[in-house]
Structure 1
Amino acid sequence: MQDESGQQAELPVIPGKRYFTIGEVSELCQVKSHVLRYWEQEFSKLKPVRRGNRRYYRRQDVLLIRQIRSLLYEQRYTIDGARAHLKGETQKQDTSKYNQLIRQMIAELEDVLDTLDGIPRS
């Protein structure tokens, strides 16, 4: 997605939770729920936990969805091309995943620091 200046809009920070509902993932990745369900059929690596009729996505699923979103929407890959890219570049994907996790941790730590800065010291 682009903001008013034509720049790529940043995706929201992923909260420190273990599981996310499809609605939460939809907001975190800025992708509609039906698209997520479709991607589950197209990308074998995307397998949310199922409990009854509900899907629960893990943090690694959210990161994978963000990567798929980037491949399809920003880098303009086809579904087949994105699938091949994900299969053929496991090492690069792991590095990218770790970089995303590190950026996520930094953002979360900065939030904690901001909160602590606002607390008066005695």
Structure 2
Amino acid sequence: MKLDDIHNSKKLYFSIGEVADMFDVKTSLIRFWEKEFDVIKPKKNSKGNRLFTKADIENFHLIFHLVKERGFTLEGAKNKLKTNRDETVKNAEIALKLKEIRSFLVEIKEAL
């Protein structure tokens, strides 16, 4: 499942493997960020498996945008989320839209 498909999905919970696939990272990074960022609070089933909500995934997207795409340190990302969350959300949405546009343009170029 792609990150874009989350909003259209009827699923309420996503496994750690699905979340890792969405961001093309290892599950260990998902567990690490869960410990580092208090905005991520997955539920756990009776077996102890993490179940992430759409809100958790949106928070992962913000963290991923700050840390992996913009080069923030973990502390810097934590501070940015606490002090300027609205601007961060807007910037992440803009970056995602620009990636979609770029992909579309590359498809058109390859079709020519």
TM-score by length of 2: 0.70
Match of 2:58 among 53, 63, 71: 63
Identical-pair percentage: 29
Match of 2:74 among 79, 90, 108: 79
**Cα drift, residue 50 of structure 1:** 1.3
Runs of 4+ in 1 over 3 A off after TM superposition: 93-97
Could you tell me which runs of 5 or more consecutive residues in structure 1 were left unpaired when the two chains were aligned.
Answer: 1-10, 104-122
TM-score by length of 1: 0.64
Give the letter aligned to residue 58 of structure 2: L
**Cα drift, residue 13 of structure 1:** 2.2
Match of 1:46 among 30, 40, 48: 40
* In structure 2, C-alpha distance between the alignment counterparts of 1:73 and 1:96, rounded to whole Å: 14
Give the letter aligned to residue 44 of structure 2: R
Give aligned pairs, total: 90
**Cα drift, residue 47 of structure 1:** 0.7
* In structure 1, C-alpha distance between the alignment counterparts of 2:33 and 2:16, rounded to whole Å: 12
**Cα drift, residue 90 of structure 1:** 3.0
Aligned-residue RMSD, C-alpha: 2.2
Tell me if the contact between 1:18 and 1:58 (Cα under 8 Å) persists in the aligned partners. Answer: yes
Could you tell me which runs of 5 or more consecutive residues in structure 2 were left unpaired when the two chains were aligned.
Answer: 98-112
Tell me if the contact between 1:29 and 1:62 (Cα under 8 Å) persists in the aligned partners. Answer: no
Tell me if the contact between 2:62 and 2:89 (Cα under 8 Å) persists in the aligned partners. Answer: no
Larger Rg: 1
SS of corresponding position for 1:46: coil
**1:30-76 per-position Cα deviation (integer Å, ceiling 9, x unaligned):** 22100000001110111111113110001111111111111111100
**Cα drift, residue 92 of structure 1:** 2.8
